[in-house]
Amino acid sequence: MRDYVIRRILGMIPLILIVMIVSFAIFSMVPNPFAALIENPRIKRSDIDRLIKAWGFDLPWYMRFFRWFGGVIRGDWGPSLLYPGSSARDVIALALPVTVRLMGIEFLVALAIGLPIGILSAIKQYSMTDYVVTVVSFMGMSMPTFWFGLLLMMLFSVVLKRPSGMPLLPPGGILTPGLEEASFWVKFLDRAQYLVMPVIVLAFSSIGSWARYMRSSMLEVIRQDYIRTARAKGVPERSVINKHALRNAMIPIVTLIALSVPAIVGGASITETIFNIPGMGKLIIAAETKADYPTAMVGLMLISILVIVFNLLADIVYAWIDPRIKYS
């Protein structure tokens, strides 16, 4: 097992390098990387020229890559071009907790609803329940998030109003301005209101996928011979499902859960844009379209490395919960 992990970790290095080169190559094609600065009237042209030289934009992209890579090895990811004065790492560090809060809640909500209804759907295959779960799951998976987000916004912020005339739920943002210094519970309740719509939007689509995965995994297990054996020895139906079937059906699901964790950090560009949430997804899109490649690279590398690491973790978890798997 130890040798296996070491071998896998060594195998990650070329993977991460490929990811870096491909992402960097895409950004290096941006025709004018200093567009954001040129747009800013407060920055002098000569300063920009100095920056171009200092950051090597007069060099071909692969030379620039080596420079950037040299910095990365020393822990220096470069300055943010979108937010002059801050380093790219600091800009990402600000967006990270916002996204983790949103996506973490969404992830837990989706699992808490998706997995049970998937199980229910499987053990009652071809029943009315199964059809309803299946249809609703597919609707969630097919719903364009931006459309659903706008619909919810129309409902909760335009149609439904509070007695005071304010929208029932705030249409965007993460915290009511002025409450930054408020007590924990006041802030907690305020934040919760901002989270309702984005969480519903994101969870609806992932509930569907989780329910489908869980259902098919459970169906696969339920028709196995050992389930019949359990019934033949008089195991109550509850335990047949909860003990014998679920334990087996969860093996692929736990792996999938491990593989999905990096998405918590990646954020959701569209939903964050609609609800004006300053998270990773929105920031990365803004950084790359405004040619702030250092910031975009920090974000992309963070996500990609997490994906690669969690791939390994998923395999380790798999070996841990399935006694048949042994790595050597």
Partner 1 sequence: MDNREVLVDIKNLRTFFYTEDGVVPAVDGIDLTIHQGEVVGLVGESGCGKSVTALSIMRLIPDPPGKIVGGEIFFHGEDLLKKSNEEMRLIRGDKISMIFQEPMTSLNPVYTIGDQISEAITLHQKINAVEAKKRTIEMLHLVGIPEPERRYSQYPHEMSGGMRQRVMIAMALSCNPDLLISDEATTALDVTIQAQILDLMRGLQKKLGMAILIITHNLAVVAEMADTINIAYAGKIVESATAREIFKSPRHPYTYGLLQSIPKFTEKRTSEPLPAIEGMVPSPYHMPKGCSFNPRCPFATEKCREEEPELVELAPGHMVRCFHPIES
Partner 2 sequence: MAEEMVEITKKRQKKSSEDYTYVGMVFHRLTRHKLAMAGAAMLIVILLFVFVGPLIWRADPNAQIEGIEGMFNAPSKAHPLGTDDYGRDVLARMFFGGRISLFIGFVSAISSTMIGAIVGLVAGYYGGWVDNLLMRFTDAMLSMPTFPLLIALSSVIGKGVSQIILVIIVFGWMQDARLVRGMALSLKEQEYVEAARAIGASANRIMWRHLFPNTLAVLIVSTTIGIGSAIIYEASISFLGFGVQAPFASWGNMLQNAQQFIWKAPRLIIYPGLAIFMTVLGFNFFGDGLRDAIDPKLKL
Beta carbon of residue 323, minimum distance to partner 1 (angstroms, whole number): 4
| Cα separation, 29 vs 255, whole angstroms | 37
Which one, of 325, 318, 321, 320, lies nearest residue 255 by Cα? 318
Q: Which is nearer to partner 1, 53 or 231 (CB)?
A: 231
Asked whether the beta carbons of 55 and 81 are under 8 A apart, the reply is no
Rg (CA), the chain: 24
Q: For residues 78 and 266, which CB has a smaller minimum distance to partner 2 in the complex?
A: 266
Report if residue 320 touches partner 1, rule: CB under 8 A: no
Q: Closest CB to partner 2 among 240 and 308?
A: 308
Nearest approach, Cβ of residue 86 and partner 2 (Å) = 20
With binding defined as CB under 8 A, does residue 166 bind partner 2? no
Residue pair 40/58 in contact (Cβ under 8 Å)? The answer is no
Does the protein bind partner 2 through residue 226 (CB under 8 A)?
no
Q: State the minimum distance, in angstroms, from the CB of residue 125 to partner 1.
A: 9
Close Cβ partners of 30 (under 8 Å, ≥ 6 residues apart): 288, 291, 293
Indicate whether 316 belongs to the interface with partner 2 (CB under 8 A). Answer: no
Q: Which of 63, 231, 242, 320 binds partner 1 (CB under 8 A)?
A: 231
Q: Which of 250, 270, 277, 314 binds partner 2 (CB under 8 A)?
A: 270
Say which entry of partner 2, partner 1, none residue 248 contacts (CB below 5 to 8 A, set by partner kind).
partner 1
Give the sign of the dihedral formed by CA 187, CA 193, CA 198, CA 203: positive
User: Which region holds residue 128: left if phi is over 0, alpha if psi is between -120 and 50, else beta?
Assistant: alpha
Picked from partner 2, partner 1, none, the partner binding residue 48 (CB below 5 to 8 A depending on kind) is none
The answer to whether the CB of 257 falls within 8 A of the CB of 111 is yes
Least separation in angstroms between CB 117 and partner 1 = 21
Q: At what angle do helices 88-123 and 184-222 cross, to 10 degrees?
A: 50
Cβ at position 239, least distance to partner 1 in Å: 9
Candidates 11-19, 92-100, 110-118, 193-201: pick the segment binding partner 2 (CB under 8 A): 11-19
37, 230, 253, 303: which one binds partner 1 (CB under 8 A): 230
What H or E segment, with its residue span, contains residue 294?
Answer: helix 293-321
Q: Which of the residues 272 through 301 are near partner 2 (CB under 8 A)? A: 273, 281, 284-285, 288-289, 296, 299-300
DSSP per-residue string spanning 25-86: HHHHT-S-TTHHHHH-TTS-HHHHHHHHHHTTTTS-HHHHHHHHHHHHHTT---B-SSSTTS
**Is 7 near partner 1 (CB under 8 A)?**
no
Nearest Cα to Cα of residue 211 among 318, 106, 110: 110
228: contact with partner 1 by CB under 8 A: yes
User: What whole-number distance in Å separates Cα of residue 194 and Cα of residue 99?
Assistant: 13
The string of DSSP letters for 13-40 reads: HHHHHHHHHHHHHHHHT-S-TTHHHHH-
Interface residue list for partner 1 (CB under 8 A): 126, 224-226, 228-237, 244, 247-248, 251, 321-324
Interface residue list for partner 2 (CB under 8 A): 14-15, 18-19, 22-23, 26-27, 29-31, 131, 134-135, 138-139, 141-148, 150-151, 153-154, 158, 220, 266, 269-270, 273, 281, 284-285, 288-289, 296, 299-300, 303-304, 307-308, 311
